[in-house]
Amino acid sequence: MDQDLQRRKELGFTLVEMIVVLTVAAIITAIAIPSFERSTSRSAVKKSARDLVTTLNTARAYAVNRRENIQVVADGGDAANEWGNPGWVLRLPAGVDGDQSFTAEGDVTIDETEDGITAFSVGPDGRIYDAAGANTIARMQFDVCPGDSSGVAGRTIEVNQFGRIRNTDKEDC
């Protein structure tokens, strides 16, 4: 009988062992969660920046190939986040696929910082014009930043009057 009692004691965990395991698990979780949040925020910034660059390139391709103005319009938002809340629309010509809407990922803010432009068009020559397609726009700059305080770097997307795009890191979001 003493042997059966001895075996039962050896099969279980002591309270101290269980507390040690739970403490180690809590420490690992506390380290992993902030890293995961930064990763999620970084991914949202990059995806939003890629979507905006894709929109600009698509608008330019349609404009040059179809020889007509293609508009890109901010879809609402406030003065500090006109392109990120809720997003923007690529207005395609009739008979194509219809307008394409894009939304900023997560809590990302997108602001056009040069002149507060909320709409522009790409002409048949590939250049950037105002929404009416009458006057060229010398330069646009979009700042894509995380909306939280995760410390993640944002992106700056610069577009010159000829439609050339530069997508770079922005540390001071």
pLDDT score recorded for residue 80: 67
Condensed to tens digits (0 to 9), the pLDDT of residues 92-151 reads 887 777 898 998 888 888 988 888 888 999 999 999 999 888 888 889 999 999 887 777
Angle at 48 between CA 42 and CA 54, to 5 degrees: 135
pLDDT score recorded for residue 3: 65
The answer as to whether 5 is a domain residue is no
N- to C-terminal Cα distance for the chain? 71
The answer as to whether 1 is a domain residue is no
Condensed to tens digits (0 to 9), the pLDDT of residues 57-89 reads 999 999 999 999 999 999 876 666 778 778 899
The answer as to whether 2 is a domain residue is no
The answer as to whether 3 is a domain residue is no
Condensed to tens digits (0 to 9), the pLDDT of residues 157-170 reads 999 988 899 999 99
Spatial separation of the C-alpha atoms in residues 108 and 126, rounded to whole Å: 28
In degrees rounded to 5, what are phi and psi of residue 155?
-130, 145
Give the E-state strand segments of 7-153 in sequence order: 70-74, 87-91, 100-103, 109-112, 119-122, 128-130, 139-145
Condensed to tens digits (0 to 9), the pLDDT of residues 5-45 reads 566 556 677 888 889 999 999 898 888 777 777 888 889 99
| CA diameter of the chain | 98
Average pLDDT, the chain: 86
What range does the domain containing 46 cover? 10-170
The answer as to whether 118 is a domain residue is yes
Q: Are 92 and 62 in contact (CB under 8 A)?
A: yes
pLDDT score recorded for residue 163: 86
CATH no. for residue 83? Answer: 3.55.40.10
Closest listed residue to residue 140, CA positions, set 102, 67, 78, 83: 83
Structurally, the chain folds into a number of domains equal to 1
What predicted TM-score, i.e. pTM, was given to this entire model? 0.77
